[in-house]
A and B are shown apart, each in its own frame.
Chain A
């Protein structure tokens, strides 16, 4: 089987409202940056796969007016309407055919041009969910309640995730929220949708991210190190929240199982060195520890409390600070990949993990109630 991986990565600056740049400029900047990182010119790129969303951009066919900025002019191209990590997955499958040498994967979202609650409420069907006024936050709050009720988890358990990730984010020069927070501060922060609070909820972030993927042969020819994609899994489960067990995520389980199978990972906690996951809410992180197979149901908080997933722990999760420190819509998952690449290549300056790392998992998700999940196993 062909070797495919990542040779360069970049993301934009993250801010809650990037007034200085249009989406076009954001994309141009990140594309230019990733090409510089790879030491390549746009003419050397075989194919571009982008990720963006019409509802975020307030523009139908959100890639139509940005093809130049992403360097896709007169190239083979496609777009997924998902997180950029799904675009990476699509690029991976195309590169496996051997028809291409490389692919630029790029995602963007300027959510400040729209509104997060509008974006998520529009994701509800017009008949049953939308009349409830459901948004990303109220949906997550319902799910958090189910999780807490089922396993006896408390607001303190959720707050502890925020404390860990904000502390880790405080040494990551690339992220948006760079200040640590205390448990008291988290628990005193305003309620967004009970039991979710402002500090257990990811911030609003404008941003873009890009990676250049290549076949092993191409990377070797150019003398570039390759962060190998060893396996990818993705899955979607039921839509209506009343139809499924909200204390876990069936699709996250299926995505992880598929990725582990491809990468031949049997015991993820031992065989992987760390993970970057898209915990847009603090409780997602606990739920995902379980769904991604790192502990049993309800044991997420124990894993956290024991420090297993902290920076010095045996299985650090979100050493970058995760999505709770920067949550660029349509790019949060691809940024997890970027953060894994930094750690794996020892270039996470200022926040490099103390232990040597060779293999990691990057996670992305999409939809309300964690309906769709994606896991990528990366290795060097």
Chain B
């Protein structure tokens, strides 16, 4: 049987454009904050799962070698995971499995990026496309998500407003999150509608910002948890599922990989009715409309009902299934840390330590991430009660 594992410490940096810290410095800050959060020292950490997204962003290959010392990995086991946008989730999942294996007791997961080191993150993201078939028409991530958005809107009779409603909800939530980058007061649907059209049907309001950030989570084995904290977030399940990239029959508005990941995650966490049994959800909404699509993939509603779930207000902070009380990826996106922020926010909600954007009485929370050609999905579910 797998060892039971809990999150015992979390460290985040603010999401912003920052020139006061190098890449190792940024990781160091998240690492130190995670240690301080749970009162552990460097020597208490047995191993490190290190995450960082495309090397292109900072122009440094194998950044884990450069940044290892900064995160206390001196003569310590460390390996790097890299799955694109999901990386923060993939790294948290790796750290979880290292502890669950019974071979490590306390493992650090850390992931980040300094997107402002590159002239354009979108040029880097265009190099995700296959050099033989794809790069000729690559225009970063928005071009792919625009296809996804158009398909979604037209298939179910929704329109641009449905994406913008997500933007308004999440931007207002972000006002309560000191780590978010976009904290814009009085953000209204009318204002969102008037932002420039960037890649039809996506407007500026539909898009995430470019952030520099790192996030760290410390996972501990059951027999070590009690001595570290009386307020852990237990890992109920940790799943990453991959779907393909280019298929003539691929429906970009119907994320079957996410659906499979969700089904596995719910099964392992003993969840039958996610809408009722989950108290809060953090999804990787790099683009507003994606949040609606992920509602469906996560079975918070049926296929095609995402827009209506948004309209119902259920996913607002005060709704019955709040989604992205932190403001989500739409208000802070460093890519490397974003999927871990989703997991860390979910864990903080379970611990009751999310601050101003805390949802009352959370017992179970889900954190999601997507990456690659909108094809990788990671899910972690945390619980207040030991599984």
Contacts and interface: CB of A to CB of B under 8 A. Distances in A.
Interface of A: 1, 22, 48, 53-55, 58-65, 67-68, 72-82, 86, 89-90, 92-94, 96-99, 119-120, 122-127, 233-239, 250-251, 254-255, 258, 262, 366-368, 371-372
B7 interface: no
A61 B77 contact: no
B360 interface: no
A368 B83 contact: no
Nearest to A97: B2
Contacts of A90: 79, 81, 94, 97
Given A61-B82, A65-B373, A68-B244, 20 more contacts: A1-B102, A54-B61, A59-B130, A60-B127, A64-B245, A67-B372, A78-B83, A78-B94, A79-B83, A81-B62, A89-B79, A90-B81, A98-B1, A126-B58, A235-B75, A237-B75, A239-B69, A254-B76, A367-B65, A371-B65
B237 to A, nearest CB: 10
Contacts of B60: 122-126
Contact of A123 (B2, B61, B125, B373): B61
Given A61-B82, A97-B100, A53 B61 contact: yes
Contacts of A81: 62, 64, 80-82
Interface residues of B, number: 67
Interface of B: 1-3, 22, 53-56, 58-62, 64-66, 68-69, 73-84, 90, 93-94, 97-98, 100-104, 124-125, 127-132, 134, 239-246, 256-257, 260, 264, 268, 371-373, 375-376
B102 A60 contact: no
A64 B124 CA distance: 14
A366 B102 contact: no
B28 to A, nearest CB: 13
B98 A122 contact: no
A101 to B, nearest CB: 14
A124 B55 CA distance: 12
Of all A-B residue pairs in the complex, the 3 with the closest CB atoms, nearest first, are A60-B54, A97-B2, A122-B61
B80 A72 contact: no
Contacts of A48: 242
Contacts of A96: 101-103
B130 to A, nearest CB: 5
Nearest to A128: B66
Contacts of A99: 2, 268
Contacts of A63: 83, 372
Given A78-B93, A122-B61, A262-B103, A64 B240 contact: no
Contact of B75 (A94, A126, A127, A254): A254
Nearest to A4: B101
B77 A258 contact: yes
B241 A122 contact: no
A234 B98 CA distance: 13
B65 A65 contact: no
Contacts of B128: 59-61, 64
A88 to B, nearest CB: 11
Contacts of B73: 236
B54 A54 contact: yes
Given A97-B97, A367-B62, A78 B75 contact: no
A244 B371 CA distance: 37
B4 to A, nearest CB: 11
A97 to B, nearest CB: 4
A372 B244 contact: no
B81 A77 contact: no
A122 B59 contact: yes
Given A64-B375, A73-B244, A123 B65 contact: yes
10 contacts: A64-B128, A68-B245, A81-B81, A90-B81, A96-B103, A123-B60, A236-B65, A236-B68, A236-B78, A238-B69
Given A123-B60, A372-B78, A239 B245 contact: no
A75 to B, nearest CB: 6
Given A60-B54, A78-B240, A94-B101, A123 B82 contact: no
A77 B131 CA distance: 23
A233 B77 contact: yes
A76 B79 contact: no
Contacts of B3: 97
Contacts of A94: 97, 101
Nearest to A118: B61
Given A76-B241, A77-B241, A81-B62, A60 B75 contact: no
A255 B78 CA distance: 11
A76 B264 CA distance: 10
Contacts of B62: 53, 81, 123, 366-367
A250 B129 CA distance: 39
Given A74-B257, A77-B240, A236-B68, A67 B245 contact: yes
B147 to A, nearest CB: 16
A5 B184 CA distance: 54
A250 B75 contact: yes
Contacts of B268: 99
Contact of B74 (A119, A120, A238): A238
B27 to A, nearest CB: 13
B243 A236 contact: no
